[in-house]
Structure 1
Amino acid sequence: MMYDDTSLPASPVLDFQINPLRHRFPFCIVWTPIPILTYLFPFIGHMGIATSDGIIRDFAGAYIVTKDKMAFGWPTKYWQLQCTKAKGKIQGWDDAVNEASELYSERIHNLLRDNCHSHVAKALNLMSYDNSTDWNMVKLAFHMFFYGKYVGFSGILKTWTPFLVTITIIIFLSIL
C-alpha cells in the first residue's frame, strides 16, 4: 500500500527552516553585496532582518523599507538567531522587526550613520535580543562577517569574485 499524506491534517507547527531557493530566512539577519562598494571592501554590504516566517525587511533608502525584496538582490549570507533570546519570543521578534521597519520608513538614509545595519540593530535592540540593547552597525558587521553562513557556493562567488577580479586588476596595473 502506498503512503498518501494528503489525508493528514495540516500541521499547526510552523516551519522555521531556512530555504534559500524560496528566499526564506526565519529569524535571520541577511546580507548581500553592494555593487562597487563590496568589490573594494568585501566585508561591507547590505543587511536586512527576516520575520518568523522568513520574510526579509530591509532599509533600502530614504523612507523605504522593503518587504521580501532586498535593495541589492537576494542574500548571499545569513546569520540565524534564536527567537528564544528575544523578549517575547516569536511574537516579540516579529513585533520588533515590524516596529523597526515602521520607524525606518520615516527616516532619511545615511550611508555612514543611519543605514540598513542601523535598521537591523534597532530591531534587535527593541526585542532586547540576548538581553542586550547595545546592538549597532559595527557589531552587526563583525558578527555577520564571522558568524554568517553563505547560502551556497553561488553566495561565495557573488561575494568574493568581484573583489578578487578588482584586486587582480589593481595588481596587474601596478606591475605595468
Structure 2
Amino acid sequence: MSQEEEESILIDLEKSRFPYCIVWTPLPFITWLIPIIGHMGIATSNGVIRDFAGPYFVSEDQMAFGRPTKYWKMDPSYVLDGKKGWDEAILKASNIYCNRMHNLIWDNCHSHVSMALNIMKYQDKSSYNMVKTFFLFTYHCRYISFYGFLKTWLPFCIIMSIVIGLILYTKL
C-alpha cells in the first residue's frame, strides 16, 4: 500500500471522517437508559458516513444524532473488489434503504449497515443482520476519545445516581 493510500484511510476526528469504519453515536433518552443501544452508520472509503436516519432517508456526511463516539475500523482487503466494492455496497444499501420505512425494532440503522456488509460480502460472508452486527460492533468498537466515552456513559451514570439516591432517600 502506498503512503498516499495509507493516508487516505486515516481517521480524521476534526472533519468526522472514518474511512472503512462502522460508526456509532448515542440516541438521546434511549442510550441514557441503556448505554449499549445507539445509532449506527457506515463510512465510505473516503470517510463520508452514511446512516439510515429515518423513514425513506439515508443521510450523508451528517449523522442523524451527532458525531460518532465509537467506531470499528474494518479491513478493506476482506471486501470483494476492495475499495470499489466497499463504496458500491454502501451506495447500493443506501439506495435500497432510501425506499424503506424505518422501524426502530426490526428494520433500522443496524439493518442498513448489515445490508452493506452483505452486499460487499465482508470476510466472504453474507449472513450479517442487525443483531449480529450489533454484537460484532460492540465487541470490536473503540471510543473516539475520553469525551466519546463520557458522552455515552455520563447521562446513564447521572440517571442511575438519581434513582439510587431517591431509593435510598425514601428508605430513610
Indicate the TM-score class for this superposition, using the shorter chain for normalisation.
over 0.9
Q: CA deviation at 1:15?
A: 1.0
Question: What is the letter of the counterpart of residue 154 of structure 1?
Answer: Y
Q: Which has the larger radius of gyration?
A: 1
Tell me the percent identity.
Answer: 49
With the length of structure 2 as denominator, give the TM-score of the two structures. Answer: 0.93
* Counterpart AA for 1:140: T
The equivalent of 2:40 in structure 1 is 47
Within-5 A mapping of 1:13-52: 13=5, 15-52=8-45
**How many equivalent residue pairs?**
166
| Shift, 1:143, TM fit | 1.8
Query: Structure 1 length normalisation: TM-score?
Result: 0.91
SS of the aligned residue for 1:21 comes to: coil
Amino acid in the other structure paired with 2:165: F
Q: Which amino acid aligns with 1:116?
A: C
Query: Do structure 1's residue 151 and structure 2's residue 144 form an aligned pair?
Result: yes
SS at match of 2:11: coil
Match status 1:126 vs 2:110: no
Q: Which segments of 5 or more consecutive residues in structure 2 lack a partner in the other structure?
A: none
User: Could you tell me which residue of structure 2 aligns to residue 84 of structure 1?
Assistant: 77
Question: RMSD between aligned alpha carbons?
Answer: 1.1
Give the structure 2 partner of residue 4 of structure 1: none
Q: Aligned partners of 1:35, 1:168: CA distance in 2, in Å?
A: 18
Alignment partner, residue 72 of structure 1: 65
Which 4+ runs in 1 deviate beyond 3 A? 11-14
Q: What are the superposed Cα offsets for residues 32-83 of structure 1, whole Å, 9 maximum, x if unpaired? A: 0000000111110000000000000000000110000000001000001001
Task: Identify the residue that residue 96 of structure 1 maps to in structure 2.
Answer: 89
CA positional deviation for 1:103: 0.3
Shift of 1:152: 0.6
